[in-house]
Chain A
Amino acid sequence: MAKPKIAMYWTGGCGGCDVSPLEVGEAIVDVLSQVEIAFWPALMDAKRADVEALPAGGIDVALINGALRTEDNVEMVRLLREKSKLVVAYGACAHLGGIIGLGNLHSAQSLVSTALGPGWHAGSPSFSANGDAPPPLTAGVVPLADVIAVDYVVPGCPPPAQLIGLFFQTLLGGEMPSPGHVFAEEKALCDQCPREKEDRRLEKFVRPHEMEPDPDRCLLDQGIVCMGPVTRGGCEAACPALGMPCTGCVGPTRKAGDLAGGMISALASLVRAGDEGEDAFAREDEVLAGLVDPVGTLYKYALATTWKRRETGGEDA
């Protein structure tokens, strides 16, 4: 069999995904010897014209990381879809919108004026004599699957070595799962977490910097908002194992659906202020109000999956 031609492309991301294959360690050398890199801007010089010159299906697998934030992002992923047999959403941004997706809390216009100062416009930049200009922002951030058909997902921020390894092993093994497969566990992260769970009663939310958690007990039991119950396993609970809560980067389990929605259910079940009943309502509300930055905590990676922005500027009540 000929070596599969792979492409890795970045859209609105931080570059961490492009570096992440190094996490695999020495095994990456084996992988690289079994594939041919057709296009990977972070590794080698290749331009859009080089991709345009390829025949349809000229790329076997395109790994795309980053959320879609500019019109150029959208054009490039459409082009890559046309040239690729398989498209993989690689990393949390391509999968769910990622941290970039939190940009949906603000209008594109407001983001541009904040970053560049007043007078800059989100829509049609034309401020350079030779026509060089950053591409216009889209109205909102969307994950890859909102714009093109995505065959597989390698999730994580960035994808953990285990899952990158799993993907390449499967790809080179030649037997791919049915389309739509997410290369992670179906079960929640708690299933892989080494910490001991108890009968939980949450009487106070604690932020990670406010305490040194007990090394053996479940973080949720200790009051730290850990997204483990609604997040897919696959990373071997890397963060909780080191005392930091899971923030949900691998994405929701099929059962949880919406990360924030699922986690609200989980937290509501855990919170108590003495015996349940009308008398406890006010104290329960105090506990619940202790959740700092609910949107940023519960929707850290998946905001753009659920909440879209369709206008570049403008406000609403």
Chain B
Amino acid sequence: MAELKHEPKIAAFLCRWCAYAGADLAGTNRLAYPPNMIPIRVPCSGRVEPAWVIEALRSGADGVLIGGCHPGDCHYVSGNYKARRRVELLRDVLAGLGVNPARVKLVWVSASEGVRFAQVVRDYVEEIRGLGPNRGEFGVPEEVDDRAGRIAQAVEQAVNHG
């Protein structure tokens, strides 16, 4: 029996001025890219709330792509910079939870970069395919999970030999 292959599901929050326009351009140019991405148009990458990304991952998205304007190009001056700092912090939190931080990615795509947009999606789908399915819950790797064990050992040592 043929085994069902896991197809990654990717939620993409795309800024309406740059990345979404880039996606449109890829479409009008009939550039092919995998259909694994669900595009969501947002006013600005800086509008994407960490809670939305968390909700997407909890709901079974295998990866979340956030597309914004190149540095210096933000329609609202600095929304993309804010998005970058948010993603940076969010990835730290996700790593602490045992969720691979690569499941959230921020990319810069301009309105004229249809070709780049298609390539970004192709690359990200492959990257996420490599990570396998996200279980939408905790997946704590062994070395993180053993933290409690190490603390208990340290406490025991301190009590017995301290």
Taking beta carbons and an 8 Å cutoff, which residues of A are in contact with B?
A: 104-107, 110-111, 113-115, 140, 257-258, 260-262, 264-265, 267-269, 271, 276-278, 281, 284-285, 288-289, 291, 293-296, 298-299, 306-310, 315-317
B71 adjacent to A317 (CB under 8 Å): no
Chain B nearest Cβ from A120, distance in angstroms: 13
Interchain CB contact under 8 A, B93 and A260: yes
Q: Which residues of A contact B145 (CB under 8 A)?
A: 106-107, 110, 315
Minimum Cβ distance to chain B for residue A226 (Å): 16
Interface membership of B100, Cβ < 8 A: yes
Q: Which of A140, A294, A308 has the most CB of B within 10 A?
A: A294
Q: Given A258-B50, A315-B139, is A277 in contact with B71 using a C-beta cutoff of 8 Å?
A: yes
Asked if residues B139 and A306 are in contact (CB atoms below 8 Å), the reply is: no
Contact B81 A261 (CB under 8 A): no
> Dominant SS at the B interface?
helix
Please state if B49 and A261 are interface contacts (CB–CB under 8 Å): yes
Please give, as numbers and ranges, the residues of chain B lying within 8 Å of A296 by CB-CB distance: 96
B58 within 8 A of A: yes
User: Given the complex of chains A and B, what is the CA–CA distance between A296 and B98 in angstroms?
Assistant: 13
Chain A residues near B149 (CB-CB < 8 A): 110, 113-114
Residues of B with C-beta under 8 A to A316? 98, 135, 138-141
User: Closest chain B residue to A260 by CB distance?
Assistant: B93
Interface residues on B, range: 35 or more
Stretch of B4-12, B26-34, B35-43, B84-92 contacting A (4+ beta carbons < 8 Å): B84-92
* A contacts with B: majority SS: helix
Q: Shortest distance in angstroms between B129's beta carbon and chain A's nearest beta carbon? A: 14
- Chain B CB count within 10 A is highest, among A114, A262, A281, for A114
Instruction: Assess the A258–B139 pair: CB atoms within 8 A.
Output: no
B54 CB within 8 Å of chain A? yes
Q: Which of B134-153 contact A (CB under 8 A)?
A: 135, 137-142, 144-149, 151-152
The A-contacting residues of B in range 38-70, CB under 8 angstroms, are 49-51, 53-54, 58
* Inter-subunit contact A308/B137 (CB<8 Å): yes
Residue with the greatest number of chain B CB neighbours at <10 A, chosen from A104, A110, A310: A110
Closest 6 CB pairs of A and B: A316-B139, A261-B51, A295-B96, A268-B85, A261-B50, A268-B86
Apart from the given pairs A105-B138, A105-B144, A258-B50, 6 other A-B contacts in the complex at a CB distance below 8 Å: A107-B145, A271-B85, A281-B84, A291-B92, A295-B93, A308-B138
